[in-house]
Chain A
């Protein structure tokens, strides 16, 4: 047993876990932020232009919905490969942690768009109608009604998105990136050091738990409905 953990808990490995945690958080947080930068406007457009939305616009809704669905149905590993040329253009290289952000964002953005769309669609129709009866413009309804009313649900969506993105980070090792996931795969699969795999995974689980917990309590704290 001691032997089993000896290398896994050596000073060198501890330093690796430390840097892996930072890299994992870097990849997750940055790609989540960028996915939201793209996903929020997309989600808003999807919900607003829906036939029951505040500004129905069927062609825009159909085309955008189709693109989002296509992007969502490509398996991540394949998207990773397909995105390589784009990655090269955007980041200047096809490998490394930063290069890995491109497929992460590309896969998360449409997912985020759908989550934002569904959060906005949950907003009480009556409240929207009240705002319309007061002469609000569509933009005012989006900024002052839809987004603030959907905030608690959007925060929960954010936590879910982060967890999903975190689940993709082990694949960073396919493009020479690292992080907890990559370490777990490297050592668990290729070098047969299961102890390291378990410890790296444990850290991943802890990070997921923290993200979920923070997301839930933040959502509860901002929600004034209860």
Chain B
């Protein structure tokens, strides 16, 4: 067939992705999944607190020696940190830009109000903001110790965690954030599957179920730690 093919030059892959609402959403989905994978590992690691200070602190030390002797002390940990920061920044910037576009696209509201299904969208936006603030607080609390309640001790995470969850506000901040996380992952996981084209009529029911289970396990696993401290199981 002698078809006239279009020969116009197209922008680079990165430009195409970042300039498109569909592409930017894919950036959000991929960065979200990177964070999600990290959180699953993080949650499982946290549960070691139930096996006492010896095991928990040793685990924390191991994280720093991960990859030795190929990697130097803490190299792997820093590599993970760089990837995570990149994911958080990419996620938050695309979330902000896409949300701005969405709000601009519907400036005037209907006079007749309905309880619209923007529930999920609003939860994602507010939940995202809560998670962003939480990440900052969490790092200042347990990684750098800047806002830590007790005397922060480098290399003694077990005691630091117990100190944090011995304050009422430490518990409140954490529980609210984990609730937000559960809701975010529940809609986010399913959303990401659609954004990346992995959903289909036959697969979506299973994807929703996986999202629910993932969100529930993640929230329950993270919440177990402050609950453990509050009930005295961890002290």
The finding on whether chains A and B are genuine partners in a shared complex, rather than unrelated, reads: no
Hey, which bits of chain B sit against chain A, CB under 8 A? none
